[in-house]
Amino acid sequence: MFDYDLLVIGAGSAGLSAATTAAQHGAQVAIADPDFIGGTCINRGCVPKKFLVFAADFARQQCLAKSYGWVNPSGQFDWLMLRTAIDQELAKLRQSYQSKLTKLGVTVLSDAARFVDPHKIELGDRTVTVDKVIIATGAKPVKPDLPGIDCGLTSRDMFQLEALPSQLTIVGGGYIGAEFSNIFATLGCNVTLIDKNDWILPGFDEDIRKALHHSLMDQGIRICPETSLKALRTDESGIHVSLSGKHDDTLLADTLLLALGRKPNLEGLNLEAAGVEVEEGAIAVDDYSRTSQPSIFAIGDCTDRLPLTPVAKAEGAAAAKTLFSDRPQAVSYRWVPSAVFCSPEAATVGWSEAEARSHDDLDIEVCCSRFTPLRYLPSSQTREALIKLVVNAKSQEILGLHLVGDEAAEMIQGFIPALRRGLTVAELTETIGLHPTSGEEIFALD
C-alpha cells in the first residue's frame, strides 16, 4: 500500500489543476510545495502584474480625461497603498485555493520534495510512498554570470519594492520586460529597456513587435536594441550598468530588473534517483506528459513546452485524467492565445506570418489594417491599433490572428473556437459587427 495514489510536486497553476482534477476522479492526493499556494502566477507573476497594469491604466485615463472636458483629473498615487491592496487580494486567493483543496480531501504538504526512488519521496524530515507522481515545479528567472549581478532584481522582486524607482533599467525585451517597462514608465519612472534583438518581443509576429516597440518609445521609454549587459558596478550613486553592442555606454540606475527569461526549476529534486530524463535543462515528456519513468509525469514550465499559465492548467488536468480516468488526454498547442499587457495591448493566436511562410506547401496571404481608435481621436496621444490576418491563399482559412489595441486580449478570445474549426476570410467579412467599436474593424478586412 502507498501513502498516496498521487503526489503532485509544486502548488502552482499546473500542480493545482492536476491535484484537483485527480481528487475529483477519486484519487487520494497530496500536493507538496514549500512556498505559497498558487505558485508564480498567483503570488509574483500574472495576477499581481495585472493589478499593476490596472493601476497604470488609471494614470493613462487621467491624461486622456483632459481631452474629454475634465479640467482637473489629476490625483496622487501611493505605491505602498497599492502594494498593500495587492497583498491582501493575493492572500484571499491563496485561501480560496487552500479551501478548495481541503474540500476535495487533498493533503497539503509544506515541504520541498526529493526523490529517493520512483515511489519514495523525502519531504523534510519524513518519507512518503506514492503510486504516481506529477512534477509541476515551474521555472525560475535566469541571471547571467556577471560580477555584481546580485544587485539585479527579478520580476518577483518588483512587487515588493519599498518605493517607486526613479531610474529603472530593464534588461530583456520579452513580454516581462515590455510589460514592466510600460507599467513603471506610466507610473512616472524613467525607464530604459535593453534588448539583444533588433525589435522587442522575440517570438511574436514581426508587425506586433514593431508596433509595440514604437509605442513604448512614443511613451518616453528609451529602448536600446541589439545591446547586451556587459558589466555591473554599484556605489553610493547607484548601479552603473555597462553595455555592449549597438549601445556601448554606461547607464546609472537605482533599480535594475533582469528579465532575461526563465528556466525549469529542477534543483533539489534528485531526478536521477527516479529515473527521470532531462533534456537541455527541461524534463523530457511525451504527448501525454509522461516522463521516461512511466509512473511519473511532468507538466507546466518544468518541461520544454509553451510556458503559459492556461497551458499549464490544461496540462495538469490532462495528466490527471490520463492517470485516473479511462480516457488518456493530450493537449493541443495549435490555437493557444498569448498576450502582452502593455498599453496598447497585443494579443495573438495561431501562426505568425514567419511561421506560416516556413511551411513550403502553403501559399500565404496577409491582410493588415492600422487605424487610430475612436477613443484617442480628441486627444494628442498617439495610439495606433493593428489587426493582422495570416491566411492560406488557396483555402482562405485563417492561420493566425494578431491584434494590437485596447482590450486586444479580451477581443481575441471569442474568435478561437471558430479559428479552430477553419474560419475563412469570407466567413469573417460576412459578419456584421457592432458600431462604433474597434472590434468591427476585424470584419472589414479584405
Mean pLDDT of 298-323: 97
Give yes or no: residues 208 and 319 share one domain.
Answer: no
Is residue 364 scored above 80 in pLDDT? yes
Mean pLDDT of 25-53: 96
Question: C-alpha cell of 86?
Answer: 495587492
Give yes or no: residues 133 and 228 share one domain.
Answer: no
Exposed/middle/buried for 430, CB within 10 Å: 0-12, 13-18, 19+? exposed
AA letter at 248: D
The reply to whether 339 falls in a domain is no
The model carries a pTM of 0.95
Give yes or no: residues 220 and 275 share one domain.
Answer: no
Is residue 288 scored above 80 in pLDDT? yes
The reply to whether 336 falls in a domain is no
Query: If you average pLDDT over every residue of the chain, what do you get?
Result: 96
Number of H helices, E strands in the chain: 12, 23
Q: How confident is the model at residue 63 (pLDDT cuts 50, 70, 90)?
A: confident
Give yes or no: residues 299 and 160 share one domain.
Answer: no
Range of the domain at 63: 4-140+263-324
Is residue 382 scored above 80 in pLDDT? no
Dump pLDDT digits (tens) for 192-222.
999 999 999 999 999 999 999 999 999 999 9
Position 104 scores a pLDDT of 98
SS3 223: strand
Nearest to 250 by CA among 234, 274, 270: 234
Position 337 scores a pLDDT of 98
Give yes or no: residues 136 and 267 share one domain.
Answer: yes
The reply to whether 277 falls in a domain is yes
The reply to whether 334 falls in a domain is no
Which residue of the set 213, 214, 402, 435 is catalytic?
435
From CA 271, how far away is CA 313, in angstroms rounded? 23
Dump pLDDT digits (tens) for 67-116.
899 887 777 899 999 999 999 999 999 999 999 999 999 999 999 999 99
Position 76 scores a pLDDT of 86
Dump pLDDT digits (tens) for 146-174.
999 999 999 999 999 999 999 999 999 99
CATH number at residue 43: 3.50.50.60
Cβ–Cβ < 8 Å for 11, 137:
no
Give yes or no: residues 15 and 131 share one domain.
Answer: yes
CATH number at residue 377: 3.30.390.30
The reply to whether 335 falls in a domain is no
Position 175 scores a pLDDT of 95
From CA 143, how far away is CA 149, in angstroms rounded? 7
Number of independent structural domains in the chain: 3
Exposed/middle/buried for 69, CB within 10 Å: 0-12, 13-18, 19+? exposed
Phi, psi for 179 (deg, rounded to 5)? -65, -45
The reply to whether 125 falls in a domain is yes
Cβ–Cβ < 8 Å for 2, 24:
no
Give yes or no: residues 229 and 354 share one domain.
Answer: no
SS3 399: strand
Give yes or no: residues 157 and 300 share one domain.
Answer: no
Give yes or no: residues 269 and 256 share one domain.
Answer: no
Give yes or no: residues 81 and 35 share one domain.
Answer: yes
Give yes or no: residues 25 and 55 share one domain.
Answer: yes
Position 72 scores a pLDDT of 78
Domain boundary among 260, 278, 301: 260
Task: Respond yes or no: is residue 435 known to be catalytic.
Answer: yes
The reply to whether 330 falls in a domain is no
